[in-house]
Structure 1
């Protein structure tokens, strides 16, 4: 049963709502809070909008359009189109998966995307946080009892990418418990420094109980289209996922799937990643003291505000928004023990980003120096 009283509003979406209220009052707002790109739909995709088959406005197969599943399977070693399920966003996909395997103890590497906890609540699972900023976090993980491990790489909110050794250690731990591992790689296309994330994940890809979640929201600037996909070889679990999808959503958007089938890998993807890598460097020019928090992927800095003597990030974010029109997400949204952190998104137009950061720098200098 869903414990509705345990659900809370998404912190990033709530801050975005508050920012809109302020903006509607005629005040300038700098949105450094939401996990969305500032790019429009890639031209190579939007140009296909008038080329869609008539069938795209009707129900599609619950598992997803075959051509799109085939295109996605080809990106992963050892996967076939039948191993792919197209879902209406990864939030829904992970919910399906937790329900499908009927496991109830979920360990999550924190700091983590706030949606994981909500998904566990919706699925009636026990959420077990593991703070990866503590030196003994792998021992902690090894010592606890769990059925599923959820992880994200590149990670939201700090842009961390698991090292090869960490991946090998995690495989050993989950195998010793015969546990499932859900690997969220939605920021895969934003892995900087020529990191090939799929190659790095190879030690996990042949693990029997693995589910990979990816999608098009971030990479293709299509957050509003709500199309993600799950990669899973276990036929029984995949069948259960399809049963749930058939009865809850019928299928992911046929329109979006056929559009992506016409252009699954647009040339703009590389430009998007290069642009945000440039934004990352622009952040460091204004805040060189943030170099220790430099993300390896994604488009967020997760900053420990104690470098400025600030211990309450929630209060800091509230004041910055109400007094100065700067929207950021406090670290408490991403797990226990991160009250002094703040997530700052750099997925903005660069000139807007620089303006926002210079204003933020002035706020810190004026009130917290």
Structure 2
């Protein structure tokens, strides 16, 4: 009998599986389940973008791309950041195309971290940052953001978390799961601390196009003194409904991008060719698609937030991404208990806040990247669930 534990890397074996997928998998095994658990646009990739990918296949464009990605795509990415945020990047030396934003995040950690380096991670936040830090021999240092602060990272909390071993701050805004954003004044306060302590920043901006009201996204790379110490990670999954195309990118200082490219070169080789041709079209001609989808998400956002507040599950107004993070403490249930009973009793799947860090206890994540019809059915079932809880 082989004892596989003797062969499996001990560090990897201690990493917990994603808490998001647990309830998604349960939902897939049940009938009549309404899922609000996965952060995936319900829109199809716009036709003109799909068509460009299809045409590349018809023309036999199925070869490897350069390691960094096609020059044409990198030029469009650089042009996009200049047009949207006024930040100039050298398409040749400061841009790397990756297999989704997740690969780019992994490359940042593995490039910057030496064993024992500390990475500050505001939570609740997406599930990958902490495990990827551990797998890169770094040490996660968690800052628990608070509901009363609209889950924003405060400069005072950042300052208190810094030690001589701190090297990197993860800045995950607009935020998954809370929908929180950071405004310019927030970022300026954070940047002052970063400069003072000579730290680097990983700015995950995958939801940058999904902000609402008059609150446009601000990249920390725009702030004085931060361009040279920020790696921006972004991609096409959320803004252009291109989740399955698996395409992302990183932007940053030349020396860092060069080392990230080396890791990418040996581990991945290059991002999918067909997806790159589609992404060129998305950046060139996809602005109207983004505006349409953002408008639809905004309508859904207001429906879901108003519905939860009316039910008594208080919910601050999320101004980014496509999630709400209602507080369920009034029910007397833990986040895990609430989600388990909801899916069993009413066949509605949401995700426990604890899947995104311990500070998520007492909250659940609800995705509104679903149709109005889908959302209304789910919200009615949740309302019934709460009424039955009150009756005991």
Contact preservation (8 Å) 1:63, 1:84 = yes
Q: 2:342 aligns with which of 313, 316, 320?
A: 320
Q: Secondary structure at the match of 2:249?
A: strand
Q: Secondary structure at the match of 1:297?
A: coil
Unpaired stretches in structure 1, ≥5 consecutive residues: none
Aligned to 2:307: 286
Aligned to 2:159: 142
Q: TM-score, normalised by structure 2?
A: 0.87
Q: How many residues align?
A: 363
Aligned to 1:272: 293
CA distance, structure 2, for counterparts of residue 291 and residue 37 of structure 1: 25
The verdict on how the C-alpha distance between 1:218 and 1:113 changes in structure 2, with shifts beyond 3 A counting, is: same
CA distance, structure 2, for counterparts of residue 296 and residue 309 of structure 1: 26
Aligned to 1:151: 171
Unpaired stretches in structure 2, ≥5 consecutive residues: 1-8, 82-86
Cα RMSD after superposing both structures? 2.0
Aligned to 2:138: 125
Structure 1 residue 68 corresponds to structure 2 residue 73: yes
Aligned to 1:79: 89
Contact preservation (8 Å) 2:23, 2:349 = yes
Structure 1 residue 18 corresponds to structure 2 residue 38: no
Which structure 2 residues correspond to residues 243-254 of structure 1 after superposition, within 5 A? Answer: 243-254=262-273
Question: CA offsets per residue over residues 243-275 of structure 1, 9 Å max, x none?
Answer: 100111001111100122233242311111100
CA distance, structure 2, for counterparts of residue 193 and residue 181 of structure 1: 27
Aligned to 2:6: none
Contact preservation (8 Å) 1:63, 1:86 = yes
Contact preservation (8 Å) 2:352, 2:361 = yes
Q: Secondary structure at the match of 1:188?
A: coil
Structure 1 residue 356 corresponds to structure 2 residue 378: yes
Contact preservation (8 Å) 1:301, 1:344 = yes
Question: CA offsets per residue over residues 164-220 of structure 1, 9 Å max, x none?
Answer: 221011101111111100111101111111332147762167432100011000111
The verdict on how the C-alpha distance between 1:198 and 1:162 changes in structure 2, with shifts beyond 3 A counting, is: closer
Contact preservation (8 Å) 1:33, 1:329 = yes
Structure 1 residue 219 corresponds to structure 2 residue 223: no
Structure 1 residue 179 corresponds to structure 2 residue 199: yes
Bigger drift between 178-187 and 136-145 goes to 136-145
Q: 1:239 aligns with which of 239, 250, 258?
A: 258
Q: TM-score, normalised by structure 1?
A: 0.93
Structure 1 residue 337 corresponds to structure 2 residue 348: no
Q: Secondary structure at the match of 1:93?
A: helix
